[in-house]
Structure 1
Amino acid sequence: MSPLPAHYTKHLSQLQYPFRQSTFYLTQLDNGQTNGSALWLGAQCLSCYLADILAKKSFTSRPKAIELGSGIGLTSLVMATLGWDMLATDLPDVIASVLFPNITRNLPTLPPGAGTIQVRSLDWLKLPEEWNWQDPVSIAPSSPKTHEWLEEGEMLEPPFDLILSADTLYSPSLSEPLLRTLHALAMKSVKATSGHAPPVYICLERRDPILIDQVLADARDHWNFVTERIPHKKVAKALERGGLQWEREDWDGVEIWKLSMKTV
């Protein structure tokens, strides 16, 4: 059964979301208090595209990624199913209401070989100099405690192999902090062997073209990123192979962008 586009399921408090041989049981809220507590198209499209391009990649050790604005947790769950260790981050209220409950509910049911998921708060308004990677609950300081530490062993921290974010470009006030956060994470994840930073994948809905174009221009001109839009046909093929049998109008306006940092 193909998952429905998010705008058809906003009224549902509980979602059964099939992915490959798994089914994720996801709580969402549609109370208007925060965009991050419900499923959006960007997470659906990004998770499906990543599953398609990463399926045949091999790594000498388990890869790890960080997601900004994880929301209800779909993308992080998909990545963990693919064998990635995921650091899922969001604001404390989103973590407490939907993200942490969804991860704790679904993590034990992931298939053999799956990666783990750690949940920590990260407020983009906090400067990177203030981050604390040794805090098991909050990377940024002074955040209220929203959940317990899930995992034994080492906490996930840079360097990361991928940096991800979906449905997070919608407010001018948050755009510059988001770019600053992406830049800092990319710099912390530059590989010593190659000198290359990991790719950043952003999925967005082009509701405000002026805002989106300005953010992409800022990413290039002020934050040293090369920006590349993934062709619509490639995304469409990935959705089809991933079982999302949608009409084009179901996800019209959704774009996936790859940001690559110039390190030399």
Structure 2
Amino acid sequence: MSAYTLGPLLYEGKAKRVHATNHDDVVAVEYKDDATAFNALKKAQLAGKGELNCRISALVFERLAARGVPTHYLGVDGSNWMLVRPVRVIPIEVVIRNIAAGSLCKQMPIGAGTPLDPPLLDLYYKDDAFGDPLLTEARLELLGLVSPVQRQAIEDLARLVNRELLELFTEAGLILVDFKIELGLTQSGELVLADEISPDTCRLWDGAVADDQDRILDKDRFRQDLGGVVEAYGQVCKRVQGVCPEPRHYG
């Protein structure tokens, strides 16, 4: 792979900065130490968080790529930089729930910890200004965000990702409760997994711990003021690197 030169900032989100490079088919993503929750109403700086999320995501992307899952990932450069293919992100967040937790239990009469079989797949309109609302079939059709064929492709890819992640995290001694992903279209029109896979986007429990709070190894530690956020992310990283290929270096 050829070296690259960092270009101007294209976009800055809650947890990452995206830069252009001197290659049209490569963008550079910087993982930040910022922690946010409740649509950025709660914020903090957690030293080391960006580096951990970058490494965890790279490890997971390597594993998924080896299993035939299409992603935007190209490699890493340094501790908190990832190189990816540019994609047109579809403004839909896909959430898959394997176990009932969080907001689902507040919105429906389902007890926390209830296994969901088959896993529940929900689509949300990705827009902070509107609070990322749930998309019903009628709302999705009204907005015209995707065609029925594209929607089916999105759901099929999301379910494939879920199957692969369930296997990966089980091997790592972790329980994948739920997660959210973003998908995008490459310059050639290929549908791929984008953004990141990390404790910021996945709800992960320690499979060997029974206590409802002690087992949490994800962003809920920040949401619920449980402390030990970076330490929990470090534990996830340690376990995931034991079952995933080492991230490739881009440059």
Question: TM (normalized to structure 2)?
Answer: 0.31
Q: 1 or 2 for the larger relative contact order (CA 8 Å, sep ≥6)? A: 2
Point out the structure with the larger strand share.
2
Counting helix residues as a fraction of each chain, which structure ranks higher?
Answer: 1
